[in-house]
Each structure stands twice: as structure tokens, then as C-alpha cells.
Structure 1
């Protein structure tokens, strides 16, 4: 068992987002309407600055390499590294999290260079969320075999963990005679925390050994409690006594009526703010440490929604 298995990198920003017996709230960008395909990313940067000032703990950015009429998401996402760089330059305190870089379709040394760059620009506010992708046609487009997903993820994770760790080590794909010893600049004093988003085809024991935590999508409460119990059992086996975070990405349609009860929608809830607070309390008490909200902004301006949540929901959890 190597060092990364015993002690996945943590940092001040990771500890601010994921803490034992507490729950923090973040936002997934971009915030769009269901029928929206063209995004004003200057507006998204302005929303990010506002969320930072209002006290949200994290901004999450997706990695969507390609679009297709067969995919349900019509939004044209920016390259995640470009957007993260812009967010790093336009925010001051909030964590920036990739949710998630498709590790199997990118070279891990390129990912390491980009991660170190964002962490430098943000002054240590970056958490590297990593996934394996769930769209087999994209593998073919990039010349990858989806059947190799599990092994690719593990191998790339190992190379990446060495590169963003302290001390940083470059593990080349090949070392011909006379090859120099490579290193990455700028140097960093604190290892960049790595977070598993989804399973990447790995067992929960593997995730518990290698990652600071496990981020998953919303499920109905009983199922989610079962998954958390499975996660805790894996942590107890793979990293006895260690804290490993559990987080959830949840869609939210915030009702105008603060007293509207929660009702199920795909991957989340429609709810007034009082019911939302109750839901989040229950999630915290059941072992969730962070929730990132995928906000539906069809009926109300996104700015109004994040302001209402900041005024009436965040104080319950960000004390």
C-alpha cells in the first residue's frame, strides 16, 4: 500500500468543504434553464463572484468534451480548465472543484499541469474531482476502448497522484535511453486534493484508500442512506479511523412559496426553502458532508435564487 492509499491529500480548502458531522453547500455551473443551449458565460462569472461573496463553499465545473443530439444536455460547456482559470481570477474565498474531469480521456500529466495551474491562480482553492465518463461513443471518438475504462482510470490516477503530490513526481509513459528526468512547474507546497466523482468503475474500498471522499448523484433518501452505510463500511476496512467525505450533487427547483413541501424531480427536488432546510439537515444527519446544487432557473433569475438560499438556507449550515 503506497502513501497515497494511506493518506489522500487534504488541504485547508478541502477541510472547509468537507468536515466531519457538518454539511456545506455549493453550486454547479452553469446555472441554466432546461431549454437553454447557449450560455452567457460572462453572466456565469458574475454569478460566481456573487456566490463567493454570499458565502457558498464551492463552485463545481463539469467536463463535457463533446455534444450530440443523442445526449440529454444541450448546453455548450466551456473547456473546464479555461473556465476554472477565469473563476480563479474572479473569486477570492470559494473552493473551485472539477466535477468531474474525465480522467480516462485525458493524459494524466496534462491534467496535472492544468490542476497545478488552477491551484496556483486560485491560491490553493482547487479540489481535483475526477470521473471516468459514462458515454461510450465518446471513447470511440477519442480512440479509447470503453472496456478499458476501469484500468485506464486506475493507471491515470496513479500517475496524476504522483504529479500533484508533495514532493511532485513525474511518471513517464516511456523512458528511452538518455531520457531526462522531468518535473512540473510551478512547484507547490501542498498536495492537490483528489476526489472521486462517481465510481470510475472502482470498488468503494479502492476509492476509500485513494480519494479524500466520494461524490455521487442524488438518490431517494432510503437508497442514499444505504450507499452511505456501504461507504462507511468501506472506509472502516480500507482506512480505519480516517475521515473520508461523502457528497451529493442534487438538482433544485426552488419554489417561490417558502412553505411549499418537497416533491421529487429527476435527480433532486422542487421545494420551498423551509422544506429544503429540512432535507439538508436530514442529509447531514445521515452522513452527507457536502451538497452541490444544480439550480433550475427557468421561472426566476438565478441571482434571486442564490440570494434567497444565501439569506435563509446557508446560515443553517455555514456557521
Structure 2
């Protein structure tokens, strides 16, 4: 099953898209030459980089949901709609898991999300992990005709539809096609719910980035309400081609080399984290070079081999 593949190993390592380093000094220079707004990555190599990630053995590709580009936030994520994009990526990859982190449910028709997710699930041969969220950007809600204050209630209603608990509303013979296995649902944060509700209704938790020490408390909270369900987080990585480079922390992550990253992941594992997605927008080296180095230096330490 998808979730067991996510967690097979002492800890597994994936990637958060876009696979671009547009938040570096060189990336910003190139962005201005290309006349792209801040936070809009260069996607010219996205297909080849996704294939490379799959070939190198990274466990998952994670896609964020940014329905509206807002310069006050300055981040367009990977630009493409997450479920449309994962449908595309399902056709150019073979083994890597495909995850949303996370679809903002109150801004979307849950019946359409269900159909889109089922489509990706079928096209990818059961590789989808459907991360979901209530959203945290108030400026989006009026445009989409949604109520920001009631987004928690809308989130719960959407989850009921995604999990089939509202199927009694369908008339005889009606169905949401394709009829395929429901993908595992993972919540980004608490989505305006109690920890107990998230632990009961979700298959996993997408936790915000933090240090290993910060994850200890969060993992303990998760284990108390969800048992051994997966706990996932992310690291903004600047990977150096110097195995002994020390760990230097920055917002949401760190700059380091092989030894420092292995140590960081070992500490995340000890804290109870099951999967880590690496984010390369602060990475100073070319992303393809760093992907190859991380695969060579790190993946074999953690991923079980068949």
C-alpha cells in the first residue's frame, strides 16, 4: 500500500517541488532576467528533474496548493494546479509516490477533488497521497466565494465526501468515476480541528518544518492521538559538496554537507519522524547536481533495498 511504501525503512526521503533554486542570489538574478515575479520558479527543467528524482530512488514528490498568486505572500509554489500536475507527473514517472501538501479543501468542490484524486490514483497505479488542509491565506476566500471563518467546518464536510460518507446523496446508478481505491488522506497541520479528530480521521500528518528537538513534542502529540500513523515533515536544504560541512540553520532548514544531513535525518528519525521531504529553493548548487549527491550520499543510509 502507498502508506507502507512511504514509511518502509527507518526513515524515507522525498522532495518538495518546485525543483528550482530561485530563492538563492543566482536564482534571483535569473528570475529578474526572465522577468518572473518573486516566488515564481523556473520550470523549464521540471519534467527531466522529476524523472531524475524517480530514477535516483527518492520516495515521494510533494506538491503544494497555491490557488491564487498573491505578491504579498510572494510564493507561487510549483505554479501548476497540484492535481493536474500530479496527473502529468504520473505519466513521466514510474515508482515515486505523488503527494499533495496540501489541497485547500474549503476553496474547492469536494466532489471534484474526489474525482480528480481518483483520476490521479488510477493513472499513477495507486501512488497518490492526498494531503489536505483548511488553508491560511484570507485573501483567497472572497475570490473563491468561501467563508474564511467557517473553513474548519467546510474541511470536515469535504473529508466526509472524500471518504464516501456522503454517498447517500447520490441517486441510484450515480457514481464518481474512476472507481478506484481512496488515496490516504494526510492533514497539513490541524486544519482547524482538534488533534483527536485529525488522529482519528487522517492516515497521516504533514507537520511544519522544524528542528529535531521541535519535532519531539509534535510527534508525541501525534502518537497520543494517532498511534503509529505516519508523521511527515520537510527541510529547506542548501546541500554543500563538502562531506564535513557543519550544520548551519536557516529558516525552515539548514545548510550542510553529507555528514550533517545524515546526522540531521538520524535525529529526525530518533524524534519519531517517518518521512522528510527536501526543499531546494535555497540550494546554491544546481538542483540536479545536489539530487545526485544526496542520492549517492544519503538515500542508502535510510531506504530499505529490495
Task: State how far apart, in whole Å, the 2-side matches of 1:170 and 1:274 are.
Answer: 51
- Asked whether 1:160 is paired with 2:152, we answer no
* 2:17 counterpart of 1:26: no
Give the SS at the match of 1:269.
strand
Unaligned runs of 5+ in 2: none
- Report how far residue 314 of structure 1 moved: 0.3
SS at match of 1:99: strand
Question: In 2, distance between residues paired with 1:151 and 1:191?
Answer: 22
2:167 aligned with 1:170, yes or no?
yes
TM-score normalised by the chain length of structure 2: 0.89
From the superposition, tell whether residues 204 and 153 of structure 1 become closer, same or farther in structure 2 (CA, over 3 Å): same
Other-structure match for 1:183: 175
The 3-state SS of whatever aligns with 2:117 is helix
Q: Any stretches of 5+ residues in structure 1 without a counterpart? A: 1-11, 164-168, 236-241
Counterpart CA distance in 2 for 1:296 and 1:192 is 28
Which residue of structure 2 aligns with residue 136 of structure 1?
A: 138
Given that residues 239 and 285 in structure 2 are in contact (C-alpha distance below 8 angstroms), is that contact kept between their aligned partners in structure 1?
no
Equivalent residues of 1:84, 1:96 under 8 A apart? yes
Aligned to 1:303: 288
Looking at structure 1, the residues matched to 168 and 132 of structure 2 have their Cα atoms a distance apart, in angstroms, of 19
Aligned to 2:184: 193
Paired residues of 2:203 and 2:230 also in contact (CA < 8 A): yes
Aligned partner (choices 17, 22, 29) of residue 6 of structure 2: 17
Aligned to 1:316: 301
Query: Who is 2:105 aligned against?
Result: 103
Give, in angstroms, the shift of residue 298 of structure 1. Answer: 4.9
Tell me, what secondary structure is at the counterpart of 2:149?
A: helix
Q: Out of 230, 236, 251, which is 1:251 matched to?
A: 236
Residues 117-172 of structure 1, C-alpha deviations (whole Å, 9 max, x = no match): 00111011111111111101111211112110111111111111117xxxxx7354
Task: Quote the offset at 1:75 in angstroms.
Answer: 5.3
State the partner residue of 2:218: 227
Partner of 1:46: 48
CA distance in 1, matches of 2:120, 2:258: 34
Q: Over residues 178-209 of structure 1, what are the superposed CA-to-partner deviations in whole Å (9 max), with x where a residue is unaligned?
A: x5552112222x33211112211111111110
Q: Distance in 2 between matches of 1:44 and 1:199?
A: 31
**Are 1:159 and 1:171, in contact at CA under 8 Å, matched by a contact in 2?**
no
CA-based RMSD of the aligned residues comes to 1.8
Partner of 2:128: 126
Deviation of the 1:58 alpha carbon: 0.2
1:114 is aligned, of 113, 116, 119, to: 116
Deviations 1:217-274 (A, max 9, x none): 1123322211111111222xxxxxx531111122111123221111111111111121
Q: Identify if the C-alpha distance between structure 1 residues 312 and 226 changes in structure 2 by more than 3 Å, giving closer, same or farther.
A: same
CA distance in 2, matches of 1:17, 1:231: 17
Number of aligned residue pairs: give it: 290
